[in-house]
Amino acid sequence: GDSVIQMQGQVTLSENDFLFINCTYSTTGYPTLFWYVQYSGEGPQLLLQVTTANNKGSSRGFEATYDKGTTSFHLQKTSVQEIDSAVYYCAMRGKANSAGNKLTFGIGTRVLVRP
Amino acid sequence: EAAVTQSPRNKVAVTGGKVTLSCNQTNNHNNMYWYRQDTGHGLRLIHYSYGAGSTEKGDIPDGYKASRPSQENFSLILELATPSQTSVYFCASGDIPGSSYEQYFGPGTRLTVL
């Protein structure tokens, strides 16, 4: 079946630091990959969607790409701000989950940005 | 603006009691989902629905039932609540217009089973 592995549980940064979060995935065929962000007290919301390997998605200063060769995808931001403090989830719509448009989520990375 | 709402936002239940969590969406989406969120597990799919009258099992359906009486409403039912079901529950809706597979989440319900 489909699976997503997100290793980093928590990342603590200072403002203007570089953020990099990586996930690996397993599926057959060509996946659609996502990054969701969850701010305190809210539900997750879509940050980025990447549908083509080696193409970049970008939103709000964040960039995402995925590498089909290493079955990995990552999220990065050059200079984080305190308002970027949130939980970031990687997610995948793989072939096994395509019926019903289901997503498989990683465990989430809590990012804390200190002023 | 599209919206997913959940009620109640907080619930305390007793072991063995029945709990119903409700979700309403104004997105006119066909698909709706129930997830639970736990530290170390992320978001896990409990049940989902393709449309009114349909319910399907997700990855962790044991101990839960679902009901989709209309396009807008999707309920999650715990017939005999247990402390292990203490969690934050999220409802989401989604569809496939064009190439977007985005799911829209509600604000969550925090359930505590004592």
Of the candidates A43, A49, A108, the beta carbon closest to that of B107 is on: A43
Residue of B109, B103, B77, B110 whose CA lies nearest to B25: B103
Q: Give chain B as a 3 state SS string.
A: CCCEEEECCEEEECCCCCEEEEEEECCCCCEEEEEEEECCCEEEEEEEECCCCCCEECCCCCCCEEECCCCCEEEEEECCCCHHHCEEEEEEEECCCCCCCCEEECCCEEEEEC
pLDDT of res. A17: 97
Distance CA(B2)–CA(A69), nearest Å, equals: 37
**Per-residue pLDDT band at B48 (split at 50, 70, 90):** very high
> Does B50 sit within 8 Å of A100, measured CB to CB?
yes
Q: What number of residues does chain A have?
A: 115
Residue of B5, B4, B11 whose CA lies nearest to B77: B11
Write out the two tokens for B23.
Answer: 């979700």
pLDDT of res. A97: 56
pLDDT digits (tens, 9 = 90+) for B67-106: 999 999 999 999 999 999 999 999 999 976 555 678 999 9
Amino acid at site A79:
S
Q: In chain B, positions 36-95, which contact chain A (CB-CB < 8 Å)?
A: 40-45, 48, 50, 56, 58, 90, 92, 94-95
Contact A88/B at CB under 8 A = no
**Tens place of pLDDT per residue across chain A (115 aa):** 789 999 888 999 999 999 999 999 998 877 889 999 999 999 999 999 887 766 777 888 999 988 888 999 999 999 999 999 999 999 998 765 566 678 999 999 999 999 9
Identify which has the larger pLDDT, B99 or B46.
B46
pLDDT of res. A67: 86
- The pLDDT > 70 percentage for chain B reads 94
How far B50 CA lies from chain A's nearest CA (Å)? Answer: 6
pLDDT of res. A66: 84
pLDDT of res. A96: 55
φ and ψ of A69, to 5 deg:
-65, -40
Residue of chain B nearest A9, judged by CA positions: B40
> Does A105 sit within 8 Å of B43, measured CB to CB?
yes
Tell me which DSSP letter residue A96 carries: T
Q: Which residue has the tokens 């604000």?
A: B107
Residue of chain A nearest B42, judged by CA positions: A107
